[in-house]
A and B are shown apart, each in its own frame.
Chain A
Amino acid sequence: MELKKISEYIWEIPKQGEMNVPACIYASHKLLESVRHDQTLEQARNVACLKGIQRMSYVMPDAHQGYGFPIGGVAAFDLEEGIISPGGVGYDINCGVRLLKTEYTEKDVTEKRKELLAEIFKEVPAGVGKGGITKLSRNVLKEILTKGAEWAVENGYGTKEDLLMTEEYGRMKDADPSFISDRALERGAPQLGTLGAGNHFLEIQKVHEIYDADIARAFGIHSAGQVLVMIHCGSRGLGHQVASDYIEIMENKFGTKGLPDRELVNAPIRSDLGQRYYKCMSAAVNYAFANRQMIAHWVRDVFRKVLGSSKGMNQVYDVCHNVAKIEKHNIEGKLRDVCIHRKGATRSFGPGRPEIPEAYRSIGQPVIIPGSMGTASYILVGTAEAEELSFSSTAHGAGRMMSRHEALRRFRGEQIRDELARKGIELRSTSWKGVAEEASGAYKDVDEVVKVSHEVGIGRLVARVVPVGVMKG
């Protein structure tokens, strides 16, 4: 596809044909190469054709082919004319990342890392089809879907301070579980408090390098070697079922005629169905917040048990990277409410946005970007420029570039475990084949992804962290 170069890291698909707006891609030459190999650009163009889209269809530096919308796609829609699309959120609603800091140093955990990981492995259920601690009743589940992480805190998982340091304060207020199908509830009931599988993981990390000491300090990160814990998971089967349900309901009601891809099925935001999806999606977002809240609580328990204390294990932040929200953005010089879809993209609000916790309001929100298994992850800060550049959004991870099938052919899980062990990184998983599928060689270079984010200005580098122990679902 023909791309117009705007600057070193900014590319544009000019408005043409059915497109209502141009598409904008943030990528280096190297990242663009892998994007060109799949359908990312075609999908970004398709999104630009949707009704009510504002300004541009954006593609983040870690983007790759999705279904309907690309993964790493950001699009905002007018609230009167626009649409909402389950495919623009993704199946794993509120897949996201939570970061805890500790006051432990590398030295404190080096000898205990095997034990720490083994205990976490015991406490946090993981793997395909693995259930949680309890099977929840319908009523309790509906309460969780309404209250999100608040429910978890009320029930003894973590503290009120955790809620302050969570996107949406851990609860989407518009959630309404009454429209959620029995099937989704059935899938969600046994899975709360589970990590899941696939690309989901839990890592014990250490700070490798700090790029911006002042901002890092505001986030609670003060020195190289400081130990952190990162949790990456989502809304499990419940969220997947909500997405599948509404794709079906929307195509039955509105059809898919004229859509270049059936997965782009959508409903007008103002329609009853559009509102119902938004409320159910919000409920699934809450499920994921509660899920990460419980897992974080168990991680603190393990630290207390193995190292004697969990003092100072405060939450840096918790971000969603598959979500649709109503946010105020600058549209042609006017601040207006739009429905923003971030599918495999992280919100990166800069200083002053009222949505971010008071402690961060003068500097911008923490943006947490997990790398692939066993490689570096990054902490960035949201910027004021991101508003104009990407509706305040940036990358969400490394982004795959090799198929799982190919990864299985090329890598062996046990070999990866041994290689990581030689680097001092402990790895535990429910499946060695699953480890091979998630080999870091199957992913783009996360260093390159965050470099582009930093250079473009949609999220600036604060710190680089590397794993000490990895638990893969």
Chain B
Amino acid sequence: MEKYKILPHTADGKFQAFGQTMEEAFANAALATASLMWDWLRIEKKEKHSVKIRGKDLEQLLLKFLGEIIYLLETKKFLLGLVNEIRIEKKDEKYLLNALFVGDKLSDRYEIYGDVKAITYNEMKIEKNGHVTVQVVVDM
């Protein structure tokens, strides 16, 4: 199964990400988001950041999870290359996500070609149909 597919959108970035599980689809959505800014395949796996997110529903969870990539880039100069140990659970009507981001520090070795300013709810879809498809539009 392909990890994600970038879709046409007039001004911004739009993609669908796929997975056998919600976790896999979320992790692939993270890679799709990174792919709009840098080539995540080329990022060395040197640095780790643990990510903990709470959301009132899966959409909000996804929005905040992907927002973490931008936050870590801007405040820690961290480039995501891999998502590990991702776990999503539902607790007291809230969703919790734990994951480990693996990657490297921003440096001249990497070309950063896109600027994702924010993750949006516009056209966001999370579909379970045997496997999971998530669709996201990001502001660029």
Q: Chain A: residues with CB nearer than 8 A to chain B?
A: 37-38, 64-68, 71, 90-92, 127-129, 131, 183, 186-187, 190-191, 196-198, 237, 240-241, 243-244, 247-248, 251-252, 261-263, 400-406, 430-434, 437, 473
* Distance of A38 Cα from B120 Cα, bound (Å): 17
Task: Tell me, in angstroms, the Cα distance from A473 to B113 when the chains sit together.
Answer: 10
| Contact A71 to B11, CB < 8 A, known contacts A128-B114, A196-B115, A437-B114 | yes
Interface positions, chain B 40-70, Cβ under 8 Å from A, are 56, 59-60, 63-64, 67, 70
Is B122 an interface position by the 8 A CB rule? yes
Residue from the list B56, B75, B118 in contact with A240, Cβ < 8 A: B118
Q: Residues of B contacting A437 with CB < 8 Å?
A: 113-114
Chain B CB within 10 Å — which of A128, A196, A437 has the most?
A128
Contact of B73 among A38, A128, A252 (CB under 8 A): A128
Closest to A67 in B: B122
Q: How many A-B residue pairs have CB under 8 A?
A: 119
Interface of A is mostly: mixed
| Nearest Cβ on chain B to A130's Cβ, whole angstroms | 9
Quick check: A186 and B75 within 8 Å, CB to CB? Answer: yes
CB pair A65 B11 closer than 8 Å? yes
| Sample of 17 more A-B contacts, CB < 8 Å, known A251-B56, A434-B113 | A64-B11, A91-B117, A91-B118, A91-B120, A92-B117, A128-B114, A129-B74, A187-B75, A198-B114, A237-B117, A240-B139, A241-B71, A252-B56, A262-B124, A263-B121, A404-B13, A405-B8
User: Is there contact, CB below 8 Å, between A65 and B121?
Assistant: no
Instruction: With CB as the reference atom, state the residue of chain A lying closest to B57.
Output: A251
Task: Decide if A263 touches B122 in the complex (CB within 8 Å).
Answer: yes
In the assembled complex, B129 has its CB within 8 A of some CB on chain A? no
* Interface flag for B25 (CB, 8 Å): no
B119 is an interface residue with CB less than 8 A from chain A: yes
Instruction: Report the separation of the CA atoms of residues A128 and B108 in the bound assembly, to the nearest whole angstrom.
Output: 12
Main secondary structure of the interface of B (DSSP, over half): mixed
Contacting pair A403 B9 (CB below 8 A) = yes
- In the complex the two chains form, what is the Cα distance from A237 to B124 in whole Å? 22
Chain A residue with the shortest CB-CB distance to B15: A405
Chain B residues closer than 8 Å to A241, beta-carbon distance:
71
Contact B121 A129, beta carbon cutoff 8 Å: no
- The answer to whether A404 and B114 touch (CB under 8 A), given A65-B10, A190-B74, is yes
CB contacts (< 8 Å) of A67 on chain B: these are: 12, 120-123, 137, 139
> Within 8 Å CB of B63, what residues of A?
244, 248
